[in-house]
Every structure is written in structure tokens, then in C-alpha cells.
């Protein structure tokens, strides 16, 4: 099990924020789709830790991204919402009813479904809050789907590189 404390959590938030802002935001695939990696903090945070601590850290992560992007709390809201509903998303994607959660005990298809669902909800909230207009509904939905797919590829690479499924 990965040993984590507040200092290591804040360091991970700083690293993910810096990586998102200074590297990933400079990569615009097909001219407009920016991959998002910072929600991995929310997705892979240990389930057994303090929930209020987790929500506060998720809010801080989103707020850090907002501070650099000038998006006025949109990322903080989306990240906190995904953090709040993470247990429900996990239970839905794994079809489990127990109170013990572990990525080690689920199959890869369930693990991938959890990642896809989490990133889709995050992107849906961010994109619709930032760009919503009724006449652009399908354009924004297409943007959410493509950005989610691209982000999924980056998150899956992160998962495989750091062997998240085996550690958390």
C-alpha cells in the first residue's frame, strides 16, 4: 500500500498542476483538444482515507488549476463533484455492494469503465459550465467525448507507468 500524508498529497497536487499547466495545456491535439491528467488524483486517492480531507484536497487541486487558467472555479467544482461521487461511480462501474474498495480486486474492464466514467463526468461539467449555449449543445458534447477519449489515453498511460492498479 502506498503511504500518503498531507505533505505528499500537496506535493502530488503541485506536480499534477504544474504538469497540466506547463506541459499538457501546451498540447492541443487537432488544434483544440487538450488532454486532462490532474483528475487522476481524485480517481486514485485511497478509499480508506478521511472523506472531508479528500474533498478539501480535491477542491484545492481544482482551484490550483483554475488559478493558472483563469477559469473562476470551474475545475474546482468539477473536481470536487467527481470526488464527492467517486464512491458511487466506483460501485456502479464495479457492481459491488461491499464497503471495502480496492483496485486490486476488480477486473481491468471494470477499472477502465471507472476511469472513463470519472473523466467523462469531469469533462462534461467543465465544458458545459465554461462554454454552454443551447445552439452549441452537440458541438460541446462532441468536444467532451473527444477530450475524454484523449484524456483517457493519457490517464491509462499514467496508470500503466505507475502501476496504479497494483498499488491502490
| Tens of pLDDT, residues 51-97 | 999 999 999 999 999 999 999 999 999 999 999 999 899 888 887 76
What is the overall mean pLDDT for the chain? 90
**61 vs 49, residue with greater confidence:** 61
Give me the mean pLDDT over the 16-26 stretch.
Answer: 96
The phi and psi torsions of 135 (rounded to 5 degrees) equal: -75, -10
CB 122 within 8 A of CB 39: yes
* The predicted structure's pLDDT at residue 123: 97
Give me the mean pLDDT over the 42-46 stretch.
Answer: 92
3-state SS, 103-140, equals CCCCCHHHHHHHHHHHHHHHHHHHHHHHHCCHHHHHHH
Selection from 115, 38, 44 nearest residue 69 by Cα: 38
**116 vs 135, residue with greater confidence:** 116
Cα–Cα dist 138/145, whole Å? 10
Q: Which residue has the cell 463533484?
A: 81
Q: What is the DSSP letter of 29?
A: B
Cα–Cα dist 1/137, whole Å? 43
* The predicted structure's pLDDT at residue 1: 39
The pLDDT-based confidence of 148 (bands split at 50, 70, 90) is very high
| Percentage of the chain modeled with pLDDT above 90 | 67
* The predicted structure's pLDDT at residue 165: 64
Q: Where are the domains of the chain?
A: 6-167
Q: Is the pTM of this model over 0.85?
A: yes
Amino acid at each position: 500500500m502506498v503511504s500518503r500524508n498531507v505533505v505528499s498529497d500537496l506535493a502530488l497536487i503541485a506536480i499534477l498542476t504544474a504538469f497540466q499547466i506547463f506541459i499538457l495545456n501546451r498540447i492541443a491535439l487537432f488544434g483544440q483538444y487538450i488532454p486532462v491528467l490532474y483528475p487522476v488524483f481524485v480517481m486514485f486517492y485511497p478509499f480508506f482515507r478521511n472523506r472531508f480531507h479528500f474533498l478539501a484536497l480535491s477542491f484545492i487541486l481544482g482551484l490550483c488549476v483554475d488559478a493558472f487558467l483563469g477559469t473562476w472555479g470551474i475545475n474546482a467544482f468539477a473536481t470536487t463533484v467527481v470526488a464527492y461521487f467517486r464512491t458511487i461511480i466506483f460501485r456502479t462501474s464495479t457492481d459491488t455492494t461491499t464497503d471495502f474498495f480496492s483496485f486490486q480486486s476488480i477486473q481491468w474492464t471494470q477499472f477502465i469503465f471507472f476511469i472513463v466514467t470519472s473523466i467523462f463526468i469531469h469533462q462534461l461539467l467543465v465544458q458545459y459550465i465554461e462554454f454552454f449555449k443551447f445552439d452549441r449543445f452537440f458541438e460541446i458534447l462532441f468536444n467532451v467525448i473527444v477530450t475524454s477519449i484523449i484524456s483517457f489515453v493519457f490517464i491509462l498511460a499514467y496508470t500503466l507507468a505507475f502501476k496504479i492498479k497494483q498499488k491502490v
